[in-house]
Chain A
């Protein structure tokens, strides 16, 4: 399933465009996941790296072992975010997501409404902006 569990963009204007960007990036994510299965190499690497080039944005991907996908889209001009920073952002997201999943009242597949997750995302977005 590729329906969004959580999607957020700052600033909110032109949000739709980013929804499309995230959605289209799933093409590459799916291709990479299926590719990993074939190669069997380095399966523990969840970070997929830069997914595809666009003029103005950089799209990064990350896939958990249970095939939950994380996508981060940042402005190309933001040079402070290098690969390492993105990696750690994904790691933070993953940790927070694991916490969400551990909540017995959360039903996997439902949209995420956790405040803790929300605040983690917010702090990351503040840092990035």
Chain B
């Protein structure tokens, strides 16, 4: 019996197809026959009818048919199903035999050939004696046949041939050997298929007909057999629905059989077969739930049918196979389009199969561990005359035996022994691993990562049992991290234990150390004594000795391992191992931290490393080193065991290097940072802890980043959440959880000991050279060298500010755009206390931040080390800039009337008002008007505000008399020019420079006027004294102008002259009009109004022209008439100008009184 004895027979697992035998074809030598055969068997896709063809010789001997039983009365069946039966109907007994014969209808030797064909048919018929197999004849013809009915010869000869061969017309076919061979072949095979179906239909009926002869007492086996056969024939007939029905009946019948130890295997085997068929058909019918239900039922029914206790492994092997084959079926169905789910996929069946395979292995281990003397029994009880069994599931030494007790107990014993001996040689682990790996593949597909890991652990363990430690270790190592991250310590511990055994047995030093470290640590839930044992072993390994073997290891393997380990001792080199801790949970924990997040350069950088062990016994280490991002400091962070020669177990004086379980040790390191590192970050890249000795064997535990292994982050989180009260620990001891991590620190520059003071008078005035005095005072103990001042606008402000701010050290001249907004690095040399004036020129208003940065270097001593420290101090100040004054300008007429527009060649005034807005007094040094070409001054313009000092909100005014030369057009807007004010802040604080501020004068509208009128009159008149007034009329056009002039009468004046006149003035000419006014009243009097009408320019009104003329005049009073008095001069003059109206009245009355008196 092969190891595959539990495999299902291939004829059971295949899809049954109708069997059709083809005879009379010479496929070796005849090309035509070959082509026909190829057409039959090539390209058998799903759309072709399911037939299995076979070419057989014409005189092939078909299996003999046994004589049909007429009565079952005395018949006792020997088994359920013969082993050859399925194969016989699939491959040996055809449903139809087709005879190919080359014969054309017009063959010249028709008669002879006809009889030869008949003979051949007869030979086939004889060979199939007793079978219902049909026979058909195919004539291979060279010519294309005519349509049926047209070829009279053909139909006549066809019926003759049918007669000769004893064939029905339906069984005679013609195959013209032409181009359309495949088409003809497909038609032929469809016809064959019909014949085959009829054959199988008849077979089913035949089997069914036996039923009436059977009785339930003796023929129970036959009931099963017949149902199975009918199911099988139905499958051959491709009637799967009925096949399923027959199989289901067969399945229930098989469990009705009387089961006992002797036939248990046969029943289970058949039940397994039928179950397989049912499940297969259910999947084929796309009813997977039916398949699963049937399988569950099958398992429930058969689980307890163990059979012989001495052969219990057979049952588990069978169970395993049941699950496996169902898994295969399920998987096959999925490949054909079925969808499986996470909780119902083939993986579970493979897993269960593996489980039974493991159980089988266990049982085999128990049942087959015979004494060494017991060998395989001498006449092989498993030998059968034919080399195979007659019936499925029977014992070779008692085939056909169906009664309860075995016929020969001695033979039975021998047979069982033979089976047990055979079982002993089976490689169970291989079977288990194969099944597990099948399951792994499935669970991977259906998103079950944990199930997958679990199965891989099982695979690893199975490899371990199979002594394939390399593979075992590989698998276990692969899944370990999953359990570690999920924090299932119980599972991790069990895996680690197996892994440790593997690494021990292979003499893998590094793995051995790694697993030991983890098993001793807090992630392992091994009992203390186990941990203690592992620790002792680890110390041995570190001392380059052979460790004690792990418990429960295979003895032979332990021997090999011991020699491997002793080889390792002599092996020089490669005795240094590095373990990256973040992937494990070793028994040593480490936390490294800088004391502060930043250190000044002039103080030592302090670093603490906390180390703690969780192992049962104290452990010594020989080196502790910290790697920092700047490796130059590493030398200062190193702790080494000075006693290199001493034994590690010996209690040394250096207790410092010993880790006591459960206690946290603190190691302090100090170093002075380099001045280049100012402003840089120093990080702890790793902490290394060396166990063992460099001379023997050593292992470096490497904490990347200075702390943490695979479990730390969660523990830290839990600790941070915890409300647990921390008990105060005695001196020198630290609570592990309270140690916070600070894995990097900044080196920052020394605190400067200087003061920077700014003296100035805010706010700054626009355009002013604003003076700020920077006072730097050193409070250093030693000389502050290389002081450099950077002053100016603080970078990062509005870009416009940069353009409108200029800084200079020279206050004597006003800055321009070439000056920068920030003056960097003004060297001040070594510090002599002093001041530095600085001038700032702010062109625009608003607030701006100014930065004063003082950098210097000073030497300091840290930890007995001289370092040159660079220090700096920043001072910022916000400066407000305001406008110093506002200038208002206006044009007025000579009468101080506001002018919208000025007239050509007529004088007017330009007035300026300077209003101070500065909080500080401003001195106006000078002012100047620079006129544009369109304006000319009438007199020499001279500043009237020179030397004036304005306090806040005071105003200074000045005016200039100007006129405009003629313009091209009648009216045009012209520029006036510029106005410059030179001023400075009047300050006692610092000498300030003069600032010249320019103001652009407004544009003004200039217009020509056709007639210019001006009067010439004295500045005052006297009562009753003639007042000559001369009016000048100038024609400013190129035309002769008609002018009408009239003088309105007035109460205050009498006058002589032309009261109304009309005259002509030639172009450019001037007309003079003389009037003699005679004032009658004193005081301001309105002059008689002059009305001028320009007849050519009606739009120039008299009103407009009158603007040029004085409207009033002051008239003085006379007390004594000069002709009465001798010298003609008034001897007494009262001139009262009252500020109020009341007083004016008084004055008037006074005048009047005197006047009347004199009269």
Contacts and interface: CB of A to CB of B under 8 A. Distances in A.
Interface stretch (A15-23, A38-46, A90-98): A15-23
Interface stretch (A50-58, A62-70, A81-89, A113-121): A50-58
B1055 interface: no
A31 B447 contact: yes
A107 B451 contact: no
B491 A27 contact: no
Contact of B494 (A4, A16, A52, A55): A16
Contact of B342 (A16, A28, A54, A105): A28
B447 A27 contact: yes
Contacts of B299: 55
A19 B488 contact: yes
B359 to A, nearest CB: 11
A101 B490 CA distance: 24
B486 A55 contact: no
Contact of B348 (A16, A52, A107): A52
Interface in A1-34: 1-4, 7, 15-16, 19-20, 23-24, 26-28, 31
Given A23-B491, A55-B355, 4 more contacts: A16-B491, A24-B451, A27-B447, A27-B450
B999 interface: no
Given A24-B450, A27-B450, A105 B724 contact: yes
Given A19-B488, A23-B454, A27-B448, A109 B721 contact: yes
Given A55-B355, A107-B723, A23 B450 contact: yes
Interface residues of B, number: 27
A62 to B, nearest CB: 16
B358 to A, nearest CB: 12
A19 B494 CA distance: 11
Contacts of A105: 723-724
Contacts of A53: 343-344, 348
A1 to B, nearest CB: 7
B724 A20 contact: no
Contact of A23 (B343, B488, B714): B488
Given A28-B342, A105-B723, A2 B451 contact: no
Contacts of A4: 487-488, 490
A27 B449 contact: yes
A76 B488 CA distance: 25
B556 interface: no
B453 to A, nearest CB: 8
A78 B382 CA distance: 42
Contacts of B718: 107, 109-110
A48 to B, nearest CB: 11
B722 interface: yes
B717 interface: yes
B487 A1 contact: yes
Interface in B156-211: none
A16 B490 contact: yes
A104 interface: yes
Contacts of A55: 299, 352, 355
Given A1-B487, A19-B491, A53-B348, A104 B717 contact: no
B343 A26 contact: no
Contacts of A109: 714, 717-718, 721
29 contacts: A1-B714, A2-B486, A3-B486, A3-B487, A3-B714, A4-B488, A4-B490, A7-B490, A16-B490, A16-B491, A16-B494, A19-B490, A20-B457, A23-B486, A24-B454, A27-B449, A27-B450, A31-B447, A53-B344, A53-B348, A54-B348, A54-B352, A55-B299, A104-B723, A105-B723, A107-B722, A107-B723, A108-B721, A109-B717
Contacts of B355: 55
Top 4 nearest A-B pairs by Cβ distance?
Answer: A3-B487, A27-B448, A24-B451, A52-B343
Given A105-B723, A107-B718, A51 B343 contact: yes
Interface residues of A, number: 26
A107 B721 contact: yes
A102 to B, nearest CB: 13
Given A1-B487, A16-B491, A109-B721, A31 B342 contact: yes
Contacts of A104: 723
A66 to B, nearest CB: 14
Nearest to B487: A3
A122 B473 CA distance: 38
Nearest to A34: B447
A106 to B, nearest CB: 9
A52 B351 CA distance: 13
Contacts of B491: 16, 19-20, 23
A108 B344 CA distance: 35
Contacts of A28: 342-343, 448
Contact of B454 (A3, A20, A52, A107): A20
B448 A24 contact: yes
B442 to A, nearest CB: 13
A84 to B, nearest CB: 21
A45 to B, nearest CB: 17
A55 B454 CA distance: 17
A121 to B, nearest CB: 17
Interface string B469-501: 000000000000000001110110010000000
Interface in B339-393: 342-344, 348, 352, 355
Nearest to B342: A31
Contact of A27 (B342, B714, B724): B342
Interface string B718-737: 10011110000000000000
Contacts of A54: 348, 352
B489 to A, nearest CB: 8
B232 to A, nearest CB: 31
Contacts of B723: 104-105, 107
B704 to A, nearest CB: 23
Nearest to A2: B486
B294 to A, nearest CB: 15
A31 B454 CA distance: 17
Contacts of A15: 490
Contacts of A31: 342, 447
A52 to B, nearest CB: 4
A19 B457 CA distance: 13
A3 B488 contact: yes
B494 to A, nearest CB: 6
Nearest to B443: A27
Contacts of B714: 1, 3, 109
A28 B488 CA distance: 17
Contacts of B342: 27-28, 31, 52
A23 B449 CA distance: 10
